[in-house]
């Protein structure tokens, strides 16, 4: 089985849902993948059911309308707008944090679960993970997941270690 087929099976349609959402977002405007699935494009992948995405702010309302018309359901949170298809375990999380808007312009298309979609640059993903890791309002488990993603990046890309918080690099270099 391919990674795409495994993910499809485990998430009850997650890779198909991501491909469908990506096609809709491509027609809607500029966007890119920014979270754990994006990290997986650069380092050894780990399993996640979240697809963290930033959409150009002027297109977010239209993206929501187009995805709703395709059967996605939405739930609003303080920092994100989450979408999913009924029965699917994939959670598409649209960040509403303006700091991520600059990531879109440098994104490049990469293969993610069988689809070629815009993925933020590794340095931008790393910056987003640092912001999340430092945010005291995040759940402790979410912060640990971001810390692990940063550690995975540090192991795979030693040249980026000077850009990471010392606390994370120290764990790698012990």
Q: Rounded to an integer, what distance in angstroms lies between the CA atom of residue 152 and that of residue 141?
A: 17
Band (pLDDT 50/70/90 cuts) for residue 2 is confident
pLDDT at 32: 98
Please state the rounded mean pLDDT for residues 55-67.
Answer: 97
pTM of the model: 0.94
Which of 75-79, 135-139, 162-166 is modeled with the greatest confidence?
162-166
Over residues 69-123, the pLDDT tens digits come to 999 999 998 889 999 999 999 999 999 999 999 999 999 999 999 999 999 999 9
pLDDT at 4: 82
Over residues 3-19, the pLDDT tens digits come to 888 888 888 888 999 99
Length of the chain measured in residues: 174
What is the gyration radius of the CA atoms in the chain, in angstroms? Answer: 16
pLDDT at 93: 96
CB 152 within 8 A of CB 38: no
**Which residue in this structure is represented by tokens 């991501």?**
18
pLDDT at 17: 94
Q: Rounded to an integer, what distance in angstroms lies between the CA atom of residue 86 and that of residue 63?
A: 18
To 10 degrees, the CA torsion angle through 2, 95, 21, 31? -100
pLDDT at 33: 98
Q: For the residues of 22-84, what is the DSSP string, one character each?
A: HHHHHHH--EEE-SHHHHTTTSS----SEEEEEE-GGGHHHHHHHHHHTT-EEEE-SSEEEEE
Beta strand pairing call for 91-95 and 50-55? parallel
Please state the rounded mean pLDDT for residues 46-58.
Answer: 94
């Amino acid at each position: 089985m391919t990674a795409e087929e495994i993910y499809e099976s485990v998430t009850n349609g997650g890779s198909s849902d991501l491909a469908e959402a990506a096609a809709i977002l491509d027609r809607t405007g500029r966007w890119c993948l920014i979270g754990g699935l994006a990290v997986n494009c650069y380092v050894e992948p780990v399993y996640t059911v979240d697809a963290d995405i930033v959409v150009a702010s002027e297109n977010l309302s239209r993206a929501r309308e187009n995805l709703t018309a395709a059967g996605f359901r939405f739930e609003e949170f303080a920092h994100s707008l989450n979408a999913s298809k009924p029965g699917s375990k994939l959670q598409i999380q649209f960040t509403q944090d303006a700091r991520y808007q600059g990531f879109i312009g440098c994104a490049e298309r990469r293969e993610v679960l069988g689809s070629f979609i815009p993925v933020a640059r590794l340095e931008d993903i790393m910056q987003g993970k640092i912001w999340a890791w430092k945010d005291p309002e995040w759940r402790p488990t979410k912060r640990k997941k971001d810390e692990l993603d940063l550690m995975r990046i540090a192991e795979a890309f030693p040249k980026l270690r000077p850009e990471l918080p010392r606390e994370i690099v120290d764990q790698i270099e012990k």
